Structure 1
Amino acid sequence: MSTSDAPAPSARQRRWAIAKRVLVAAFLALVVFLLVRHASTVDWEEVGKALRETDPLLLAATAGLSLLSYGVYCMFDLMGRHYTGHHVPVWRTCMTSLVCYAFTINLGALVGGVGLRYRLYGRAGLKPATVSRIMMLAVFTNWSGYLLLGGALFAAGLVPTPEGWFIGDIGLRVIGAAMVATALAYLGVCAFARRRTWHVRGHAVEWPGTRMALLQLGLSTANWMLMGFIVWLLLGREPQYLPVLGVLLIAAIAGTAVHVPAGLGVLEAVFIALLGGQVPSHELLAALFAYRGVYYLAPLCLAALAYLVLELRHRHGRDPEAEPART
C-alpha cells in the first residue's frame, strides 16, 4: 500500500495525538520548572567537591558493573539470533547489540534501537523482516522484566512517594499490581497460546516458548537490578537499595514518555523529587553525574569506536559474514 492509499486518521486519533503532545509538553515543562527551581538552591561547589572526592576504586567497580549490564543486554540479541535462526556470527551479534544499546540510551530508540539495528544487521546480510523480529523480541524482553520488577516494588510499597503526590501510595500500589499481572499474562500467553503467530500492523509476531519467555524475564530483571545497584553504590549505599531501584525505574519510564535522549534532566528531577528529603542534594547530583559518566558516556565512546570498526570493515570489503541472508 502506498502512502497516498493509507487511510486518513480518524477524528478520535487526531484528538489523541494532540492530547498526547500536550501531555508530553506539559510534563517536560514541569521537569524543566522543577530543575530550574531546584538548581537555584543547589550548592554547586559542594556538587563538584563530592564528585572530586568520589573513590576511584568505586568508579572502577561501577564501570565494571556497567560492562556487566551491557553484557546482559547483549543476551537479548543472542536470544534474537536463536529466535529467528539467523547466522550472523556471535561476536558480530554481540557487537551490534552493544553498539545499539549504547546509542539507544544516549540518543534515543529511533537512532540506536531502530536505525542502527537495521543498518548493522542489514550490512551483515539480514532481511528487514528478520531485523524487525530481533528488535521486537529485544523490546518485549526489556519491558517484560521492567513490568515484573517495577510492579513488584510498587505493589509492595517500597518506593518513596512525596506527600501530596498526585498518584499517591495506594495509586502506585494499584499500578504495580497491574504491571505484575501484565508480565504474568505475557508469560501465560507464551506458555499456553494455541495461536502462536499474531499480526500487528502488518508485522507477524510469533510468541516465544515458555523457556525463552522465562529467560526474557530473568535477563531483563537482572539488567534493571544491575543498573539500580550501580546508582545505589554511587550514593554510598544510602538509602536502601530497593527504594533506589524503584526510583530509577520510575525515572526510566518518565524519560521514555517524554522522549528525552538519555533521560537528560528527567532522571535528576525524579530522584530529587523522590529522594531529595533523604540524601543531600549535592551528594545526590554528584552520584547521578557519576552514573551518567560510567553507564552512558563511557560506553557510548566505546560503542562509537566499535561502530567505526564495523563501518570500515564493510567499506574495505573485509566483511565475509555479509552474505545474502538465509532468513
Structure 2
Amino acid sequence: MNRAETHAPAHANSSGKPHWSRWKRPLTMLFFLMLIVLFATLAQRIEWNEVFDNLADFKVRTLIIASGLTLVSFLVYACFDLIGRTYIRQNLTWKQILPVGIISYAFNLNLSAWVGGIAMRYRLYSRLGVSKSNIAKILGLSLATNWFGYMVIAGAVFSSGLVRMPPGWKLSSSALQGVGVLLLLLSAGYLAACRFAKRREWAIRGIEIDLPSLRMAVLQLALGALNWSLMAAVIFTLLPGKLDYPLVLGVLLISAIAGVITHIPAGLGVLEAVFVALLQHEASRGSLVAGLLAYRAIYFILPLLIALVMYLLVEAKAKSLRISRKPK
C-alpha cells in the first residue's frame, strides 16, 4: 500500500477499506467455483479405466529415472540458497544450507510459498543464527533465481514457436511468441543492469537489496533454467513416448503461470487441465492424466514425506541442544 492510500480521507470509504476489497472475496469464491466446474467437466471426459491401466503399465525403470531426476532437481533448487550464502557473506556450510533448501522446496510445492518458501526458511535459518534481514535476502535471491531462470527458458521456448496454442484460445500462438520475446528482453535487461548499473543498493521497507554481480546473475540463470528443465524432464519421462521434450517443457511453463494466477497450492488440477487442453491432440487424455498423477506422486508427495522426516529430525536435534545447554 502506498502513501496515497494510507492517507486517504475517511469519508472516501465508510468502512475504511478500498471499494474493490468489498468484491474481492465474492469474486475469489466465484473464480474457484468456475475452476471446480472446469475440473468436473474435465474429469467426465476422461476414461478413468485407461488412466488406471496406464498407471499399472509403468515400468520400474521409468519410475527410477523419474525419481532420480527429481532428486537432482531438488538439489539444484537447494543450490539457490548456496548463492544466497555468498550474497549475504555469512559463514554457513553447504551441509547446513542444502537441507533447508530441500525442506523449504518440498513444503513450498505442496503447501504454498508462505509455508515453505517463507515460514519454513525463517524458522530453519534462524536456528542457524541468520538474522531476519539476511533471511529475507536469501529468500529474495532464491525467488529471483527461480523466476529469472523461468524467464530465460520460457522466452526461448515461447519465441521459437515450438508450442502451438489450440484454436479458440484467447492467447494465440503468435501472441505467445511475442510474450517469449518480451521475456528475453527483460532477461537481457536484468543482465545488463547487473553488469553496468552504477547504483547497486536499494532499501525496500527497511530491507537492503544489493544488485548481484554479472557472474552471480549468470549463475542464477543457469540454475533456475536447469531446475525448470529438470521438472519438465520428470514429466517427459512419465508421459507417452511420442511427445517431444521441448513441447512438454513449453506446456509446463504455461501451466506454471496458470498455477501462480490461481494461487492453488501445488497447482492442483491446474497443471492437469493445461496439459490435457494443450496435448490432447498429441496423446490420449487417459495417458496424459496417468503420467501427471505419477508426476505428482514422485515430485510432490514423496519429497514432502521425506522433507517432513528431515524437518522432525532438525527439530529434535535443536530440542536436544536446548536441553543440554540448560544450567543444572
TM over 0.5: yes
Q: Runs of 4+ in structure 1 displaced over 3 angstroms?
A: 8-31
Deviations, residues 79-136 of structure 1 (Å, cap 9, x unaligned): 1011111123221110000000000011100000000000000011111001000000
Deviations, residues 228-259 of structure 1 (Å, cap 9, x unaligned): 11111111333211111010011111112211
Cα distance, 1:30 vs structure 2: 4.0
Say whether 1:92 aligns with 2:91. Answer: no
Cα distance, 1:54 vs structure 2: 0.6
In the superposition, relative to structure 1, how do residues 74 and 203 fare at CA in structure 2: closer, same or farther (>3 Å)?
A: same
2:107 alignment counterpart: 103
Structure 2 CA distance for aligned equivalents of residues 39 and 216 of structure 1: 39
74, 80, 83: which one pairs with 2:84? 80
In the superposition, relative to structure 1, how do residues 35 and 104 fare at CA in structure 2: closer, same or farther (>3 Å)?
A: same
Say whether 1:69 aligns with 2:68. Answer: no
Deviates more, 1:24-33 or 1:93-102: 24-33
In the superposition, relative to structure 1, how do residues 28 and 162 fare at CA in structure 2: closer, same or farther (>3 Å)?
A: farther
Say whether 1:142 aligns with 2:146. Answer: yes
Structure 2 CA distance for aligned equivalents of residues 183 and 20 of structure 1: 33
Structure 1 CA distance for aligned equivalents of residues 26 and 310 of structure 2: 39
Whose radius of gyration is greater, 1 or 2? 2
Cα pair 1:197 1:207 within 8 Å, conserved: yes
Cα pair 2:240 2:283 within 8 Å, conserved: no
236, 241, 248: which one pairs with 1:244? 248
Structure 1 CA distance for aligned equivalents of residues 7 and 282 of structure 2: 51
Say whether 1:153 aligns with 2:152. Answer: no
Cα distance, 1:19 vs structure 2: 7.5
Q: TM-score, normalised by structure 2?
A: 0.90
Say whether 1:259 aligns with 2:258. Answer: no
* Within-5 A mapping of 1:150-229: 150-229=154-233
290, 293, 296: which one pairs with 1:289? 293
In the superposition, relative to structure 1, how do residues 9 and 224 fare at CA in structure 2: closer, same or farther (>3 Å)?
A: farther
Structure 1 CA distance for aligned equivalents of residues 34 and 94 of structure 2: 44
CA-based RMSD of the aligned residues comes to 2.3
Relative contact order: is structure 1 or structure 2 higher (C-alpha 8 Å, sep ≥ 6)? 1
Cα pair 2:106 2:304 within 8 Å, conserved: yes
Cα distance, 1:319 vs structure 2: 11
SS at match of 2:282: coil
In the superposition, relative to structure 1, how do residues 250 and 18 fare at CA in structure 2: closer, same or farther (>3 Å)?
A: farther
Say whether 1:112 aligns with 2:112. Answer: no
Say whether 1:58 aligns with 2:62. Answer: yes
Identity %: 39
Deviates more, 1:172-181 or 1:296-305: 172-181
2:53 alignment counterpart: 49
SS at match of 2:6: coil
2:35 alignment counterpart: 31
Structure 2 CA distance for aligned equivalents of residues 176 and 307 of structure 1: 39
Aligned length: 315
Cα pair 1:24 1:257 within 8 Å, conserved: no
Cα distance, 1:204 vs structure 2: 1.6
In the superposition, relative to structure 1, how do residues 212 and 319 fare at CA in structure 2: closer, same or farther (>3 Å)?
A: farther
Structure 1 CA distance for aligned equivalents of residues 323 and 227 of structure 2: 31
- Structure 2 unaligned segments of length 5 or more: list them: none
Structure 2 CA distance for aligned equivalents of residues 274 and 20 of structure 1: 30
In the superposition, relative to structure 1, how do residues 21 and 222 fare at CA in structure 2: closer, same or farther (>3 Å)?
A: farther
Cα pair 2:84 2:142 within 8 Å, conserved: yes
Cα pair 1:150 1:249 within 8 Å, conserved: yes
Structure 2 CA distance for aligned equivalents of residues 243 and 53 of structure 1: 23
Structure 2 CA distance for aligned equivalents of residues 253 and 124 of structure 1: 34
Q: TM-score, normalised by structure 1?
A: 0.90
Deviations, residues 247-283 of structure 1 (Å, cap 9, x unaligned): 0011111112211111101101111111112110110
